[in-house]
């Protein structure tokens, strides 16, 4: 927003907030740390049989961004005692925000047992040798979009892109926009890429036609300024990939399988509550868990509530209603692999995903699979 300045290391809209392509900078020292075991904050309880309730002690979970509505499920899991019921004395939620350190790096260093990230971050790390896997995903759809304005040059379809100026943030977002254009058969010469920041002011002033945005954020900001946003979502237009994934070390899957399953159960319970009650989710984010988290300032309750509603459109799909939160169909997995290839990362599904733990959790706890209403597209702030 005009006049707002956020240090570049904390730029919210950069994909570094979800791990980012900076994960490709992993050094051999961190890979050696992964092979030699993690630190105390990663959790020390050994995994045992899944019979009697176990004591998994304290673990740390690395969030992909500051403590806001994006982690409503984690807030509910803490508030409602789901982590404790699962056998954890404490689950420390580590705020993200610094683009210089990725969730992948933090997991590998042993500072956190689990990290919230995305395939666009984890895949490059694995390709470079990091022993990581994704074991589930909160967002079935990534939140990236191109936002234009109804009273400007509305871009409603991919075909409308030709000849347009697109405001794109430097760094990781360039990789994503390149993949989006490639996936849709649009040459870069068919559009003009304008390097911009994360403020929507240049779009509003007409310096370019569309602003690379998050469906859950910039459209809400534009509406607050009296504008009618037009949203072209990447997930529904040629570049589907998941986000807010649960990423762990392969060694953790092998050595602490019951611990991870217990965590997934608590997360499912927390996110079930979050999806069902956006108002309560926003209240927890603003008044308790994310208080003063917005770079020293409080979050805005109205905005967080609207983001919670918009976020549900990324979390709950017909497949999730049928199969359960965090699950991925084979078709969705295949789409992610194809999207990664469009962005320049060639990787096999079995190298990136291991959803067997989630399958076991639902088999052992069938009551976790509850009916969740699929939000309509009009539920988002578009």
Q: Kindly report, residue by residue over 119-174, the tens digit of the pLDDT.
A: 999 999 999 999 999 999 999 999 999 999 999 999 999 999 999 999 999 888 88
**87 within a domain of the structure (yes/no):** yes
Whole domain around residue 346: which residue ranges? 8-141+241-379
Q: 125 and 97 in one domain?
A: yes
The pLDDT tens digits of the residues spanning 295-351 come to: 788 999 999 999 999 999 999 999 999 999 999 999 999 999 999 999 999 999 999
First to last CA, the chain: 18
Q: Which two tokens stand for residue 68?
A: 């806001």
Reported as a pLDDT band with limits 50, 70 and 90, residue 36 is very low
Report phi then psi at 44, rounded to 5.
Answer: -120, -10
The arithmetic mean of pLDDT across residues 85-96, rounded, is 96
375 confidence band (pLDDT: 50, 70, 90): confident
Task: Name the band, by pLDDT with cuts 50, 70 and 90, for residue 271.
Answer: very high
Domain boundary among 210, 233, 256: 233
Q: What is the residue-averaged pLDDT of the chain?
A: 87
**210-214 and 144-149 strand pairing:** antiparallel
**Which residue in 190, 140, 65, 161 sits closest to 324, CA to CA?**
140
pLDDT at 369: 95
In contact, 322 and 370? CB cutoff 8 Å: no
Statement to judge: residues 27 and 84 lie in one domain: yes
For residue 2, being part of any structural domain is answered with: no
User: Of the candidates 173, 198, 233, which is a domain's last residue?
Assistant: 233
Q: Give the global pTM.
A: 0.86
Please state, for a pLDDT cut of 90, what percent of the chain lies above it. 77
Q: Are residues 117 and 264 in the same domain?
A: yes
Find the mean pLDDT for residues 226-254. 97
CA distance 314 to 367: 23
**20 pLDDT tier (thresholds 50, 70, 90):** very low
Task: Check whether residue 103 and residue 209 sit in a common domain.
Answer: no
Residue 13 belongs to a domain? yes
Residues 299 and 349 in one domain: yes
Secondary-structure breakdown of the chain: helix, strand, coil percentages, each rounded to the nearest 5: 45, 15, 40
Residue 28 domain-assigned?
yes
Q: Are residues 246 and 363 in the same domain?
A: yes
From the list 238, 1, 229, 23, the residue with the least C-alpha distance to 115 is 23
What CATH number is associated with residue 149? 3.40.190.10
Radius of gyration of the chain (CA): 20
pLDDT at position 227 over 90: yes
- Whether 246 and 227 map to the same domain: the answer is no
Give residue 29's pLDDT: 43
- Judge if 370 and 264 occupy the same domain: yes
Contact 77, 266 (CB under 8 A): yes
Distance CA 182, CA 292 (A): 40
pLDDT for res 296: 81
């Amino acid at each position: 927003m005009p006049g707002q300045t956020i240090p570049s290391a904390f730029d919210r809209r950069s994909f570094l907030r979800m791990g980012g392509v900076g994960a490709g900078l992993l050094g051999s020292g961190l890979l050696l740390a992964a092979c030699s075991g993690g630190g105390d904050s990663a959790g020390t309880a050994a995994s045992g049989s899944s019979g009697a309730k176990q004591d998994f002690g304290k673990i740390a979970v690395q969030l992909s961004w500051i403590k806001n509505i994006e982690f409503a499920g984690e807030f509910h899991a803490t508030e409602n005692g789901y982590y404790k019921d699962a056998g954890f004395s404490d689950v420390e939620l580590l705020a993200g925000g610094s683009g210089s350190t990725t969730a992948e790096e933090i997991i590998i260093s042993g500072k956190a047992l689990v990290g919230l990230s995305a395939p666009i971050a984890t895949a490059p790390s694995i390709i470079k040798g990091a022993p990581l896997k994704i074991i589930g995903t909160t967002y079935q759809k990534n939140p990236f979009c191109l936002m234009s304005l109804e009273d400007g040059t509305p871009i409603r379809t991919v075909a409308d892109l030709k000849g347009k100026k697109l405001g794109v943030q430097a760094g990781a977002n360039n990789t994503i926009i390149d993949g989006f254009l490639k996936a849709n058969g649009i040459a870069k010469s068919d559009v003009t890429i304008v390097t911009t920041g994360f403020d929507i002011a240049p779009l509003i002033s007409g310096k370019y036609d569309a602003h690379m945005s998050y469906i859950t954020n910039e459209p809400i900001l534009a509406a607050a300024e009296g504008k009618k946003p037009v949203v072209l979502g990447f997930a529904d237009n040629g570049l589907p990939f998941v986000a807010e994934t649960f990423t762990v070390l392969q060694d953790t899957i092998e050595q602490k399988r019951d611990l991870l399953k217990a965590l997934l159960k608590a997360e499912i319970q927390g996110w079930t509550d979050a999806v069902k009650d956006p108002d309560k989710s926003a209240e927890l984010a603003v008044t308790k868990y994310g208080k003063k988290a917005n770079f020293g300032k409080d979050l805005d309750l109205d905005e967080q509530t609207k983001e919670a509603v918009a976020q549900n459109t990324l979390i709950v799909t017909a497949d999730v209603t049928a199969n359960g939160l965090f699950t991925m169909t084979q078709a969705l997995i295949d789409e992610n692999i194809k999207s990664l290839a469009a962005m320049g990362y060639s990787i096999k599904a079995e190298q990136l995903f291991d959803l067997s733990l989630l399958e076991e959790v639902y088999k052992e706890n069938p009551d976790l699979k509850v009916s969740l209403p699929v939000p309509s597209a009009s539920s988002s702030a578009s």
